[in-house]
Every structure is written in structure tokens, then in C-alpha cells.
Structure 1
Amino acid sequence: MNDSMINLTIWQLAAAYLFVALLLALVRWRKIPREKEIIIATLRMTIQLLLVGYVLMYLFENPHPLFTAVVVLLMIGFAIFNIYKRVRGHLSKRLKRAVMTAMAAGSLASLLYFNFVVIQFSPWYDPRYFIPIAGMIIGNSMTGVSLGVQTLIDGMKEQKREVVAALMLGASPKAASRKIKNRAFDAAILPTVNQMVGMGIVFLPGMMTGQILAGADPVSAIEYQIAILLGIIGAVSLSVISFVQLGYKVFFNERQQLVRGND
């Protein structure tokens, strides 16, 4: 197998931006006011990835446990901030704390288990492994928790009467909100489950494709991809269930009465 990787020239990379031009032409043709967002998104993506590339080059050449830990914590912090921005409406401080705790605990627990038990690379802080794996786990957990937060908030608003009725009949807050919590959990994990269903037949995942393009054996690349997908579903599940178990309590007071927990 050819172990060499094709390096893109600046002109080859520039040619790929024609797809953005095509998208801009289509939205203008359909009179959809998205040109500014598309241009900003493209510029941000380009600048951010270039900066990340140079940062990763430095980290790979100067591996240190402190550098790796700082990068991972920054990634988790940015993911939490992004969840706050994604959710419609204002989040209360208690709900923000629930998001922060769930994301930090779920992502870190899954990441450390995956790295120390499943992959077992050495040294444990090797940024070539630690940071990319952290990015996949934290990124997918962020998406799951975002969906979980929004579904929980919407459910508590839309089914307020049902919850109040259950409380009046003697149900505990945990029991009264069970259906809403289950719906939030289901909505949060569904994209990851659907991704797993179509994997390998409908599309080839990024990690596997990258390894193959870099010259890795396809079977070895598949083994890594299966492992990381299982790690992702575990991380999403743990992060979301942690949020759901913490988040629903925000909507009830000490007397087990329903309150406007998102204020």
C-alpha cells in the first residue's frame, strides 16, 4: 500500500472554494438571505482551522501533559459556551450549572476511560491521540446536550399542565417529569444513533477516511473508527443522562412545586 499522502497546493485548495461560490449563487438565485452568514462561516472556518493547525504543530513537536490538559479544558469550556448560545431563550444560572457539570463530567469520564482502557497509547498525554479523540468526544457530547437542553425546556413549557396535574395527584417531581426527561434523552442520542446506522454504507466517517488517505490499512482504520464511535455514543449518553438528571430539578422548588426554572 502507498504510504504517501497527497499534499494539496494552494491552488488546489483555492479550487475547493468554488463550492462556496456555488452555494452563494444558489441562495442568491432562490432569494434566500444567507450570503453574509455563508461568507462569515467560510472565513471563520478557514481562519480557525489554520490557527488550530499551527497550534497542533507546536503541541505535536513539544508534547507536555500540561499543554494537553489546558487544550482539553479549553475545548470543554468552548463547548459549554456554545451550548448556551445554541439554546433558544435565556438560560437560568441553575440550568447553566447543570449543563456545565454534565458536559465536564460526561466528556472527561468518557475520554479518560477511552484513552486509558480502550486505546492505551503512551505517553498518556500524547497530543496526537489525546486532542483529536477529545475533539470528537466533546463535539458530539456538545451536540447531544444542546438537543437535550432544548427538548427539556420545551417539554416543561408545553406539558406544564400535565406536570402540575401529576404533582397534584401526589406524584414526585421525578415521576411527573419522567416522560419529558425520556423524550429529551431520546432526542439527544438520536442523531448519533442514526449516524451509526448509516456508517460504512451511506457514508465513510472522517476519522476512517483520514487514516486511509494517510496510507493506513483500511481494516486498521475501520477498527479505530468502530472504537471511536462506541466511545462517542458512550460519551453522549453519559453527558446527556447527567444533564437530564440534574436539569429537571431546576424546574421544581423545595416544596416540589413546578416553577419557571429557565428564568
Structure 2
Amino acid sequence: MSNVIKDIEFWRLVAGYLFILLLIVFVKWRGLKREKQIIVSTARMTIQLILVGYILTYIIEQPNPFPILLIIILMLWFAVYNTYKQVAIPLSRKLKQIIAISMAAGSIVTLLYFNFVVIHFQPWYEPQYLIPIAGMIIGNSMTGITLGVKNLIEGIQREKQLIEGALMLGATPEAATKSVVNSAFDSAILPSINSLVGMGIVFLPGMMTGQILAGISPLIAIEYQIAVLLGITGSVALTVMIFTYFGYRTFFNERDQFDV
């Protein structure tokens, strides 16, 4: 097996944008008014990845724990900020704090566990491993908690009268919102569960594909991919568990009265 990965020539890479052009033509033809969003998203993706490529090249060649930790903190900050934006529903200050704490706790605990116990790379700040794995864990946790937040808020607003009725009958806030909280948690972890079901049969994940393209043995690539998928699923579950456990309480005051 060759260990030399084929470089993509510049003009061939540019040719890949043909499908973006086809997408723009189609949405314009259908009157969907998504052209600007597609162009901006594609441009941002290209610029961001080029910048990240240069930054990672420098960091991998000169590994240092401080800039690596700074990058992870920035990842977490952007994930939290992006969650606020994607929800597109007014959030209380308490709920924003719960989102930030859940994202940080769920992602960091999972990353540390898989760093020191499961994969155990050395040094612990090895950027070749730590940064890509942190990105996958944080990114998927962001997707999970975004779904959880949206479904929790929408569910509580939709079931407001039922929750108030349960409270008047003597139910605790936890009991009154149990079905809503369970539904929010279920919707948040479902994409992760579905990805586990289709993994290896329906599609090959990006990390495994990249390692195989780089000449790594498929069996070793599978080991890493299993570890990463378990980490992603665990991180999403832990993040959403923390959020749903504390998040619903922000809709009640100190006297357990519904405050929506």
C-alpha cells in the first residue's frame, strides 16, 4: 500500500466548485432565493479551511500546549455562539449559561477521557490527534444541543397549558415537563444513533476515509473511527443530558412556579 497521498492540482480543485454553480442555477431557477447564502457559505468554508490549514501546519510542526488549548477554547466559544444563533428563539440569560456550561462540560470531559484512557496519545497535547478529535466532538455536541434547545423551548411553549394544569394538580416541575424533556433529549441524540446504524454500510466516515487515503491500514483506521464515534456519541449524550437536566428548570422560579 502506498503511503504517498495524491495531491490535488489547483485547477482540479477549482473544478469541484462546478457543483456549487449547478446548485446556484437550480435554486435561482426554482425561485428559492438561496443564491447569496450558498455563495457566502461556500466562500466562508474555503477561506476558513485555508486559514486553518496554515495554522495547523504551523502548530503541528511546532507543538505547544498553550496555543492548542487556545484553539480548543475558541472552538467551544464559537460552538456556544453558533448554538445561540441557530436556535433563532429568544433565550433567557439563565438558559444561555446552561447551554455554555453543558457544551463545555460535555465536550471537555469526553475529550479528556478519550485522550487519557481510550486513545492515550503522548504528549497529551499532540495537535495531530487532539485538535481534529476535539473538533469532531465539539462540532457534534453543538449540533446535538442545538436540537435539544429548540425542541425543549418549542415543547414547553406548545405544552404550556398541560404543564400549568399538572402543576396545579400538585406535580413537581420535573414531573410536569418530563415528556417534553424526554422528547428534546431523544431528538437531540437521534442523529448520532442513526449515524452509528449506517456506519460502514451506508457510508464511510471522513476520518476513516482520510486515513485510508493517507495510506494507513484500514484496520487501524477502523480502530480510530470506532473510538471517535463512541466519543462523539458520548459527548452528545453527556452534553444534552446536562442541558436537559438543568435547562427545564430555567422556566420555573424559586417557588417552582411556571415562568414562561
**Which category describes the TM-score, using the shorter chain as reference length?**
over 0.9
State how far apart, in whole Å, the 1-side matches of 2:245 and 2:191 are: 20
State how far apart, in whole Å, the 2-side matches of 1:29 and 1:86 are: 27
| Offset at residue 25 of structure 1 (A) | 1.6
1:22 maps to 22
Equivalent residues in 2 for 1:57-76, closer than 5 Å: 57-76=57-76
Moved more, 18-27 or 183-192: 18-27
Give identity over the alignment, percent: 57
2:180 maps to 180
Equivalent residues in 2 for 1:113-152, closer than 5 Å: 113-152=113-152
| Offset at residue 29 of structure 1 (A) | 2.1
1:153 maps to 153
SS at match of 1:8: coil
SS at match of 2:147: helix
State how far apart, in whole Å, the 2-side matches of 1:215 and 1:228 are: 19
Write the letter of the residue equivalent to 2:248. Y
State how far apart, in whole Å, the 2-side matches of 1:4 and 1:69 are: 31
| Offset at residue 19 of structure 1 (A) | 1.0
> Which TM-score applies when normalising by structure 1?
0.97
2:33 maps to 33
Write the letter of the residue equivalent to 1:237. A
| Offset at residue 88 of structure 1 (A) | 2.2
2:242 maps to 242
1:103 maps to 103
State how far apart, in whole Å, the 1-side matches of 2:31 and 2:160 are: 40
Write the letter of the residue equivalent to 1:100. A
* Total equivalences in the alignment: 260
State how far apart, in whole Å, the 2-side matches of 1:20 and 1:256 are: 52
State how far apart, in whole Å, the 2-side matches of 1:181 and 1:32 are: 35
State how far apart, in whole Å, the 1-side matches of 2:7 and 2:71 are: 27
Write the letter of the residue equivalent to 2:46. T
Structure 2 gaps, min length 5: none
1:257 maps to 257
Equivalent residues in 2 for 1:208-247, closer than 5 Å: 208-247=208-247
| Offset at residue 149 of structure 1 (A) | 0.3
Cα distance per residue 1:1-49 (max 9 Å; x no partner):
1111010111111111111111112112222211111111110000000
State how far apart, in whole Å, the 1-side matches of 2:203 and 2:213 are: 15
State how far apart, in whole Å, the 1-side matches of 2:56 and 2:184 are: 36
State how far apart, in whole Å, the 1-side matches of 2:86 and 2:121 are: 35
SS at match of 2:123: coil
Cα distance per residue 1:240-263 (max 9 Å; x no partner):
000001110000011111002xxx
1:83 maps to 83
Dislocated runs of 4+, deviation >2 Å: none
Moved more, 25-34 or 162-171: 25-34
